[in-house]
Structure 1
């Protein structure tokens, strides 16, 4: 085990988690810190759900941010996200959700977009 690796409840935390060629985006946070956000996987969500044992959806998102983000070259944990400036947390949340929870664009229903389909009174 490398010096910067830790195993908690059978889950590796820290260490070299990124794969060669893995999709990583770098953003500058409002505080000026540099964050690297990598593509998330099911295992990341599972770890985040374990970290947020109470099942609170907000806690899971914060834990997921911690799973897929490095700040200024350092791995962060859930508690680090709790202590960050709100603007940084919001920027990371948007980045993680945009990357990992892409949804197809919503189509306007034909009834609402077609003026001929509206009833006349």
Structure 2
């Protein structure tokens, strides 16, 4: 195995850094840092769930932020997200959830029962 193929928790530890993701969103965080949030895949969610071993939904979101985000050009880890300013975390959370968890359109609700619409005898 080449050193540029070795990763730990999805983070490349040897060789050149991968090129920027063309589909990534660039956002300016409230702290002034610049974040790049790439589109997520199933493997990213799997890694995030493993990192948040307790299964807490909030922890999974934080771990997913770490999987998908680079801040000022460097990869971050779960613990980095825990130490970020709240405003930055909220901005990243909105970006990750908005991009990766688009909800399908709501179905039109069934017509509700209206007793006045019934014919009277």
**TM-score above 0.5, yes or no:** yes
Query: The residue matched to 2:111 in structure 1 has which SS?
Result: helix
Where does structure 1 differ by over 3 angstroms across 4 or more consecutive aligned residues?
A: 5-8, 14-20, 117-120
With structure 2 as the length reference, what TM-score do the two structures score?
A: 0.78
TM-score norm. by structure 1 comes to: 0.78
The 3-state SS of whatever aligns with 2:115 is: coil
Give the Å deviation of 1:101.
0.9
The answer to whether 1:58 aligns with 2:58 is: yes
Secondary structure at 1:103 match in 2 = coil
Unaligned runs of 5+ in 1: none
1:1-40 paired onto structure 2 within 5 Å: 1-2=3-4, 7-8=7-8, 11-14=9-12, 16-17=17-18, 22-40=22-40
RMSD value, Cα: 2.4
Task: Give 1 or 2 for the bigger CA radius of gyration.
Answer: 2
Which runs of no fewer than 5 residues in structure 2 stay unpaired? Answer: 117-121
Q: Give the count of matched residue pairs.
A: 112
Match of 2:104 in 1: 104
CA distance in 1, matches of 2:89, 2:78: 11
- More strand as a share of residues: 1
> Given the alignment, which residue of 97, 114, 117 partners 1:118?
114
